Amino acid sequence: MNRRNMLWSAISASGAALGASSVKAASEAAPSNKLNVVYHLSDADKVNFVLGNIQNHIDGVGGPEHVTIALVIHGPALKAFHWAQANPDVSKRVGDFSKDGVELAACGNTMKAQNVTLRDLLPGFVSAEKGGVVRLAELQSQGYLYLRP
């Protein structure tokens, strides 16, 4: 075998090994089938409906480990989540969702308009300081699917 053939054989073998390791790395880093979903809630009369949709979504995919869900709330709907006014069913669902890893984001602008802080809301909420609609857009830009039941 001449030197050119030996060199070509070595390069080919190295390329094959590199290609195989790239395929293995790509398959290990392949994205999961876990969906990212953001629910948008602003209508006070849809609070129970949206919370039911979220629970059905979690149940339908086989549990919270199979989906990432965020709930962004602004406008009149936020009043349903004030701890002093929340009905027991809403309180229980919010607690369960918080344990399941659902992001519960309250619009910072709505919080100011309603003169409430995170302490006034049910436990588990975070503030969308820049606003609910900004948070919705941020999540959508990160690949979250947008649902507004």
pLDDT in tens, 130-143: 999 999 999 999 99
Do 107 and 67 share a domain, yes or no?
yes
Q: What CATH code is carried by the domain that includes residue 76?
A: 3.40.1260.10
Higher pLDDT, 49 or 13: 49
Do 64 and 136 share a domain, yes or no?
yes
Instruction: For the chain, give the percent of residues with pLDDT over 90.
Output: 77
Do 39 and 24 share a domain, yes or no?
no
pLDDT at 33: 78
Instruction: Count Cβ atoms below 10 Å from residue 12 Cβ, excluding itself.
Output: 10
pLDDT at 32: 62
Structural domain range at position 18:
1-29
3-state secondary structure 2-55: CHHHHHHHHHHHHHHHHHHHHHHHHHHCCCCCCEEEEEEECCHHHHHHHHHHHH
Domains held by the chain: number: 2
Task: Indicate the residue type of 63.
Answer: G
Q: What would the pLDDT profile of 32-77 be if each residue is shown by its tens digit?
A: 678 999 999 999 999 999 999 999 999 999 999 999 999 999 999 9
Q: What would the pLDDT profile of 69-119 be if each residue is shown by its tens digit?
A: 999 999 999 999 999 989 999 999 999 999 999 999 999 999 999 999 999
Do 66 and 48 share a domain, yes or no?
yes
| Pairwise CA distance, residues 147 & 113, whole Å | 25
3-state secondary structure 69-89: EEEEECHHHHHHHECCCCCHH
Instruction: Count Cβ atoms below 10 Å from residue 121 Cβ, excluding itself.
Output: 23
Rounded to a whole number, what is the largest CA-CA distance in the chain? 86
Residue 62: how many CA atoms within 13 Å on its side-chain side?
5
